[in-house]
Amino acid sequence: MQNQVRKYTAEFISTFIMVFCGTGAIIINQESGGVVTHMGIAITFGLVVMSMIYAFGNISGAHMNPAVSIALTISGKHPLKDLVPFVLSQLAGAIAASCTLQALFPANDTLGSTLPAGSAFQSFILEFFLTFFLMLVIISVGRKSKKEGSLAGIVIGGVVGLEAMFAGPICGASMNPARSLAPAVISGHTEHLWVYLSATIFGAIMAVLVGKFLLAETFVPQTHTEVEKSRISAYEN
């Protein structure tokens, strides 16, 4: 039981830090007249994801993302009994981060919410493919040798930064339901929230389906006990 609580706490803390730093960079960029810059925001997201993977990956896997947890559960790489607690921990961490940022910057209207610059459909397609690409990388990194797997944080953080850099100005490059839900709910900008909740989850699930075809050996059926013993996560071999 204590081990389970440690994992849920790790997900809460890692998601809090990710949302606090990532959306915080957006807010501070707005408040400072663009000092952080778009590139700085993208780098911040990539670096914080990388850091959290190395800090908490060996405890909970540092998913920080309900779409990742859902996709891994469907793939059999994450225990079903941990799915709801993981998602609740991630959402709670994200909401706590947005509440903290609201207290620090009460005049900020959006709190780093992901809002489409174009049409909702355009952002839906972008978010679907961004999450699809990210999840494919996560799956691929998870099958590497221990030596290669030690670079997982750098690789996954790099993908997050890359996708945020090129797609952020159009769709926000969320790739994460918790990252989008928290600032939207706290700021009240929920008008396009459905895009970021549905596209990211569908994209992650599609990546698992494609991954089962491309990386068949990665998806060898495991018993519940084997999954628990190996503590398989998004970022550990």
* CATH number, domain containing residue 87: 1.20.1080.10
What local confidence, expressed as pLDDT, does residue 214 receive?
86
Q: Judge whether 62 lies within some domain.
A: yes
What local confidence, expressed as pLDDT, does residue 150 receive?
77
Tokens of 230: 């190996």
Instruction: Say whether 80 sits in a helix, a strand or coil.
Output: helix
What local confidence, expressed as pLDDT, does residue 147 receive?
52
Q: Judge whether 90 lies within some domain.
A: yes
Check: CB of residue 150 under 8 Å from CB of residue 57. no
For residue 91, give the nearest of 172, 186, 12 by alpha carbon. Answer: 12
Check: CB of residue 139 under 8 Å from CB of residue 210. no
Q: Mean pLDDT of residues grouped by 10 in the chain (237 residues)?
A: 92 98 98 98 98 95 97 94 97 98 98 97 98 95 62 95 97 98 97 97 97 73 46 41
What local confidence, expressed as pLDDT, does residue 223 receive?
46
Q: Judge whether 235 lies within some domain.
A: no
Instruction: Say whether 192 sits in a helix, a strand or coil.
Output: coil
Q: Judge whether 163 lies within some domain.
A: yes
- Give 26-35 pLDDT, tens digit per residue: 999 999 999 9
What local confidence, expressed as pLDDT, does residue 173 receive?
97
What local confidence, expressed as pLDDT, does residue 234 receive?
43
Check: CB of residue 131 under 8 Å from CB of residue 205. no
Question: Which DSSP state fits 109?
Answer: S
163 Cβ neighbours under 8 A, 6+ residues apart: 130, 133, 134, 173, 175
- Residue 16 sits in which domain range? 2-104+111-230
Q: Judge whether 199 lies within some domain.
A: yes
What local confidence, expressed as pLDDT, does residue 27 receive?
98
What local confidence, expressed as pLDDT, does residue 141 receive?
87
The total domain count for the chain is 1
Q: What is the pTM of this model?
A: 0.89
What local confidence, expressed as pLDDT, does residue 146 receive?
56
Distance of CA 176 to the CA centre of its chain: 4
Q: Judge whether 237 lies within some domain.
A: no
Average pLDDT, the chain: 90
What local confidence, expressed as pLDDT, does residue 229 receive?
45
